[in-house]
A and B are shown apart, each in its own frame.
Chain A
Amino acid sequence: MSNPTIESRTSPAATAPAATTVMSMQQALNRALDEVLADNPKAVIFGEDCGRLGGVFRITDGLQAKHGEQRVFDTPLAESGILGMSVGLAMAGFHPIPEVQFDGFAYPAINQIVCQIARMNYRSRGTLPMPITLRVPSFGGIRAPEHHGESLEALFAHVPGLKVVSPSTPHEAYHLLKYAATRPDPVIFMEPKSRYWQKGEVDPATHDADGGSPTGAKVMREGRHLTLVAWGAMVARCLQVAELAAEDGIDIEVLDLRWLKPIDAAALAASVRKTRRAVVVHEAPLTSGLGAEVAQLITQSCFDTLRAPVERVTGFDVPYPSGDLEDEYIPNIDRILFGIQRVLEYKRG
């Protein structure tokens, strides 16, 4: 098979799919939380400003008014306190859904997350489960101040006892949050804040029309020549890239990993065994990022069929830059296309 080449890099016109229920990711998350509170009397939502204000991103908007101050409440401003309190509430039989207001504010709570939440089930030999869904507005793309845009997925995924998930669309946000918030284990729920106001079709009845596992990855676009692996906000960008590449006859598959721990290794293998080429795209820094884990999983399952080493297009090993440099840092369309090109043009030595 000859390697397709890339010429055009113009942006496609955004075409919203026809929808029966169109809502933003913010609305989808809000609706999911509303339903979780209605379904589970033990579910409680708390954090900084998530009560009366409804959260700085309005994800919890109106929930206190509807469900009461016992179920949705404001805490003092202290992230370790919020997460440590979650442990005690879980021990008392509640299903805490705490929020840290911005990703970088999870750092002051790392001790409670890593030493306590992640280990309590193990430490207590399963008698004290930690059904905690930690919502973390995550990643960059909104020109925010320092510590308001971080990509913590590799850090959390590395910790035994934690699960990590990130939605890419309003539909995924609705279903993944509803699923996460009913699990008996701690889940770090990373919301791509740059996608909060993007609208999309939500089908509340069915998560995966093809009956896929709620813990699995999902093919967002079928393709034959190469697999783009992404999560969170990068999924939409990879879909854009795939549209552009299609104009040049390159047929790209886009796999939304969805769960960053556990990673759906079977879906990765299935996609790459079909396309024989893969590029992982993430906003987090390159070194020791999840791209390395994904690349290794692909290598292990697809070594014999791979046409080129797995490429990574990522953020850089630098502190998250100010807004002016954000577009240079986050993988953009051009950088992803270059990554694709490197894979397509790879020649065995």
Chain B
Amino acid sequence: MDTLPLAVSGGDAGPLTPAELRELYTLMVAVRHLDTSAIAWQRQGIIPGYAPELGQEAAQVGSGYAVDTTRDFVFPTYREMGVARTMGVDMVGYMSTHKATWHGGLYNPLESRLAPIQAVVAGSVLHAVGWAHGQTLENSDGGTTGVALTYFGDGASSQGDVHEALNFAAVMKAPVVFFVQNNGWAISVPTERQVAGGSVAARAAGYGMPALQIDGDDVVAVVEATRRAFAHARAGNGPVLIEAMTYRRGPHSTSDDPGRYRSLDEERDGAGEDPLERLRKRLLADGIADEAFFAEALAAAKAEEEHIRNGIQALGSRPGTEMFDLVFQETTPALQAQAANWREESEHV
């Protein structure tokens, strides 16, 4: 499905260069290695939990690659590690949420242009609309605007907030790109038991919004679709919905056991070809990269993973005072009294 008009002239859509394709591969390898390592960290007791994204690297790296971090803003859920890495977010700060150091992570959302990690699915989809409408208000003289990119899944698409967000954005012509990663599963419930009609993209027409349903395992297709959507929204034409069809190859989280709701055969059939392997074959076929390049990319990913692991292992607990100090900009007497009691009683122990 593709109901998005042809790219507006002067948009930033264009064919990917060999250097960009190599960069995409480097990013995907880094994300793949960090993702599988994070599961290992959990098994080793380094972090208490993690939400893997195995198989979604192309959808995440490809969409995150279209973001202009000087003016756009991204609203993730809890499974957008690949987007964060692609945007250049501090990954120790990002992973600290999975280390249970601080809900939302320790990265600076304003500087990184990535909103805090969000555990309520669909919770941040409306935030994207509000932020995007703010861009419209600030550029009412006709200047180009930043675009809000918001992520959610096939499961979250059942939430009322997604419907309200789609309607609000369409009514207000807000510059939002709704990026749906349809990974086939909402924990244990498959898409056909979650999404009536089988497609989130098909719903966009009901909101008067163009939509693209794309192969979310083809990173090139993802980059091109996201760039088209960004150009459309940035030019003041309102929101776009992209449904990237992909597959959650791993469990929902490190606490999940997919063996209770799908067989290995089903997993193989649903997953299709590995998106990383697909890109590798393409680069080889086009003569853009060779084995030495792939080995170098993997070595860099391993070094990066080690650096991040060392970083989060070195993270201590946050000082307890932050629990009280960060609730409000202007604290309250009751909170100050509770903090004073806490300090006194914990020092006494």
| A266: chain B residues within 8 A (beta carbon) | 333
Chain B 321-338 near chain A by CB (<8 Å), digits 1 or 0: 010001111101111000
Is there contact, CB below 8 Å, between B137 and A84?
Answer: no
Chain A 116-128 near chain B by CB (<8 Å), digits 1 or 0: 1001111111111
Is there contact, CB below 8 Å, between A91 and B115?
Answer: yes
Given contacts A94-B134, A128-B110, A128-B115, could you give 12 more A-B pairs where the C-beta distance is less than 8 Å? Answer: A75-B168, A76-B171, A83-B126, A84-B161, A85-B133, A87-B126, A88-B127, A89-B131, A92-B134, A122-B326, A160-B327, A163-B328
Indicate whether A93 reaches chain B with its CB closer than 8 angstroms.
yes
| A44: chain B residues within 8 A (beta carbon) | 137
Q: State A225–B76 Cα separation when bound (angstroms).
A: 58
Looking at A76, A84, A121, A160, the one whose CB has the most chain B CB atoms below 10 A away is A84
Task: Name A's B-contacting residues (CB within 8 A).
Answer: 44, 70, 75-76, 78, 80-81, 83-94, 96, 111-112, 115-116, 119-129, 131, 160-161, 163, 183-185, 261-263, 265-266
Nearest-neighbour CB distance to chain A for B147, whole angstroms, equals: 12
A-B contact pairs, 28 of them (CB 8 A): A44-B137, A70-B137, A70-B140, A76-B164, A76-B171, A78-B167, A84-B129, A84-B164, A84-B165, A88-B127, A89-B133, A92-B130, A92-B131, A111-B161, A116-B120, A119-B103, A120-B116, A121-B328, A125-B326, A126-B329, A128-B110, A128-B115, A129-B329, A163-B328, A183-B329, A185-B329, A261-B332, A262-B334
Is there contact, CB below 8 Å, between B329 and A124?
Answer: no
| A94: chain B residues within 8 A (beta carbon) | 134, 137
Is there contact, CB below 8 Å, between A262 and B333?
Answer: yes
Report the interface size for chain B: residues with CB under 8 A from the other chain. 45
Is there contact, CB below 8 Å, between B130 and A84?
Answer: yes
Is there contact, CB below 8 Å, between A85 and B328?
Answer: no
| B110: chain A residues within 8 A (beta carbon) | 127-128
Chain B 311-349 near chain A by CB (<8 Å), digits 1 or 0: 000000000001000111110111100000000000000
| B41: chain A residues within 8 A (beta carbon) | none
Contact among A76, A83, A127, A185 for B330, CB-based, below 8 A? A185
Nearest-neighbour CB distance to chain A for B168, whole angstroms, equals: 5
Closest to B103 in A: A123
| B137: chain A residues within 8 A (beta carbon) | 44, 70, 94
- Which 8 residue pairs are nearest across A and B when measured between Cβ atoms? A88-B130, A84-B126, A92-B134, A81-B164, A85-B130, A123-B104, A88-B131, A262-B332
| A263: chain B residues within 8 A (beta carbon) | 334
Q: State A126–B322 Cα separation when bound (angstroms).
A: 10
Contact among A88, A161, A184 for B132, CB-based, below 8 A? A88
Take A88-B128, A88-B129, A116-B123 as given contacts and tell me if A124 and B330 are in contact as well, using a CB distance cutoff of 8 Å: no
Indicate whether B230 reaches chain A with its CB closer than 8 angstroms.
no
Q: Which of B132-179 contact A (CB under 8 A)?
A: 132-135, 137-138, 140, 148, 160-161, 164-165, 167-168, 171
| A161: chain B residues within 8 A (beta carbon) | 327-328
Contact among B120, B148, B328 for A111, CB-based, below 8 A? B120
Q: State A103–B335 Cα separation when bound (angstroms).
A: 27
Contact among A81, A83, A89 for B134, CB-based, below 8 A? A89
| A183: chain B residues within 8 A (beta carbon) | 329-330
Contact among A80, A85, A115, A121 for B329, CB-based, below 8 A? A121
Contact among A90, A93, A128 for B109, CB-based, below 8 A? A128
| B148: chain A residues within 8 A (beta carbon) | 88
Q: State A216–B165 Cα separation when bound (angstroms).
A: 38
Closest to A85 in B: B130
Contact among A89, A115, A126 for B130, CB-based, below 8 A? A89
| A119: chain B residues within 8 A (beta carbon) | 103
Nearest-neighbour CB distance to chain A for B209, whole angstroms, equals: 14
| A84: chain B residues within 8 A (beta carbon) | 123, 125-127, 129-130, 161, 164-165
Q: State A120–B119 Cα separation when bound (angstroms).
A: 12
Is there contact, CB below 8 Å, between A85 and B126?
Answer: yes
Q: State A90–B137 Cα separation when bound (angstroms).
A: 13
Indicate whether B294 reaches chain A with its CB closer than 8 angstroms.
no
| B126: chain A residues within 8 A (beta carbon) | 80-81, 83-85, 87-88, 112
Q: State A129–B326 Cα separation when bound (angstroms).
A: 10
Is there contact, CB below 8 Å, between A76 and B127?
Answer: no
Take A80-B126, A265-B333 as given contacts and tell me if A126 and B131 are in contact as well, using a CB distance cutoff of 8 Å: no
| B160: chain A residues within 8 A (beta carbon) | 80
Indicate whether B108 reaches chain A with its CB closer than 8 angstroms.
yes
Q: State A164–B339 Cα separation when bound (angstroms).
A: 21
| B73: chain A residues within 8 A (beta carbon) | 91-92
Take A44-B137, A85-B126 as given contacts and tell me if A124 and B168 are in contact as well, using a CB distance cutoff of 8 Å: no
| B334: chain A residues within 8 A (beta carbon) | 262-263, 265
Nearest-neighbour CB distance to chain B for A133, whole angstroms, equals: 14
| B129: chain A residues within 8 A (beta carbon) | 81, 84-85, 88
Q: State A125–B148 Cα separation when bound (angstroms).
A: 21
Q: State A160–B104 Cα separation when bound (angstroms).
A: 17
Nearest-neighbour CB distance to chain B for A69, whole angstroms, equals: 10
Take A85-B126, A122-B327 as given contacts and tell me if A78 and B168 are in contact as well, using a CB distance cutoff of 8 Å: yes
Q: State A76–B123 Cα separation when bound (angstroms).
A: 18
| B132: chain A residues within 8 A (beta carbon) | 88
Q: Which of B104-126 contact A (CB under 8 A)?
A: 104, 106, 108-110, 115-116, 120, 123-126
| A265: chain B residues within 8 A (beta carbon) | 333-334
Is there contact, CB below 8 Å, between B133 and A124?
Answer: no
Is there contact, CB below 8 Å, between B135 and A78?
Answer: no
| A124: chain B residues within 8 A (beta carbon) | 104, 109, 115-116
Looking at B165, B328, B332, B335, the one whose CB has the most chain A CB atoms below 10 A away is B328
Take A70-B140, A128-B116 as given contacts and tell me if A88 and B134 are in contact as well, using a CB distance cutoff of 8 Å: yes
Closest to B163 in A: A78
| B330: chain A residues within 8 A (beta carbon) | 183-185
Take A92-B130, A263-B334 as given contacts and tell me if A78 and B326 are in contact as well, using a CB distance cutoff of 8 Å: no
Q: State A31–B327 Cα separation when bound (angstroms).
A: 31
| B115: chain A residues within 8 A (beta carbon) | 91, 124, 128
Q: State A111–B161 Cα separation when bound (angstroms).
A: 10
Q: State A122–B116 Cα separation when bound (angstroms).
A: 10
Is there contact, CB below 8 Å, between B127 and A111?
Answer: no
Contact among B109, B161, B171, B333 for A80, CB-based, below 8 A? B161
Nearest-neighbour CB distance to chain B for A187, whole angstroms, equals: 10
